[in-house]
Structure 1
Amino acid sequence: MTLVTTSRRSTPVTRAIAKDLAFATGVRYLPRGKHGLREISGEHDLFIVFEQQRSGILMTVYQEGEPCLRRLVKKHETGVREGLLTKGIRTSDREIGMILDDGECPVIYTDDLEDDLLLSFDGPQRRHMTLALEKIR
């Protein structure tokens, strides 16, 4: 993965999620501004876009300029990290894990008993974020 960004008209929440995920995975965060998806896909093979929608926050993963995975962020929790910083992500979503597990981003798979798919990661300044995801077909 080479980039995490937001929609053109982002919200503080989508920016916080995108920045923290970029920090955790060790990739670049790009404030979207006037950058178009075509421009971004020309420079990056793999990128994630977070955008606010009525039903929640949509996370779309693009590979080679095409959307390959979509998840609705049903719930997000930001807390204070206890203990040491952990680089990478922890997830019960095997599809996201397989895409992000490129050797540079450590992926720890969890088996959560809840129905939701979870994605959690450590951000800067002792933040810890957990996202409850739902598959979108």
Structure 2
Amino acid sequence: MEVTTSRKPAPPLRTFSKDLAFSLGGHYTPRGKAGLGEIAGIDDDLLIVSKSGRYFLIEVFHNEEPVFDLLFTSYSVENREGELIRGLVTGNQIVYDKLSSYIKVCKTEDNRDVLIFDGAQRRRYVLRLKLQE
């Protein structure tokens, strides 16, 4: 699993991406001037994190083919209490179905509009999903 960002990410988005890679047991690769082809060839699964306008976006690729675009309106960073959770946690069935073949994701009965993951240094991220109706 490779995680990268848009070419010139803001520092908080870079930290977010590094923590996402940590949670998924993957590797963060700074994009810099590298083309997508160079980064996509590193691993079968690639996540690209970016911010476009007022939304954040995680693009999921498998074997260089787009699989799913995960839009979220905002995210918060909390201090994690308790055990570290590896992978993603969501109550959203669509998100779970789209991602479970490529990424470690757990389904819960609540939290339909959020996606949660744990980063390094006791950080817990809570993403507010932009639900596609």
TM-score (norm. length: structure 1): 0.83
Segments of structure 2 that go 5 or more residues without pairing to the other structure are none
Find the counterpart in structure 1 of residue 49 from structure 2: 50
When residues 44 and 96 of structure 1 are mapped into structure 2, their CA distance, relative to the original with a 3 A threshold, is farther
Q: Secondary structure at the match of 2:130?
A: strand
Q: How many residues align?
A: 133
Segments of structure 1 that go 5 or more residues without pairing to the other structure are none
Deviation track 1:28-52 (CA, whole Å, cap 9, x = no partner) reads 0111112211112223221100111
- Is this contact kept in 2: 1:70–1:135, CA < 8 A? no
Structure 1 residue 102 displacement after superposition: 5.8
Identity %: 37
Q: 2:125 is matched with which residue: 129, 132, 135?
A: 129
- In 2, the alpha carbon distance for the partners of 1:59 and 1:88 equals 15
Find the counterpart in structure 2 of residue 23 from structure 1: 22
- Is this contact kept in 1: 2:91–2:111, CA < 8 A? no
Q: Secondary structure at the match of 2:81?
A: coil
Q: State the AA in 2 paired with 1:134.
A: K
Structure 1 runs of 4+ with >3 Å offset? 93-105
- In 1, the alpha carbon distance for the partners of 2:70 and 2:99 equals 14
- Is this contact kept in 1: 2:92–2:111, CA < 8 A? no
TM-score (norm. length: structure 2): 0.85
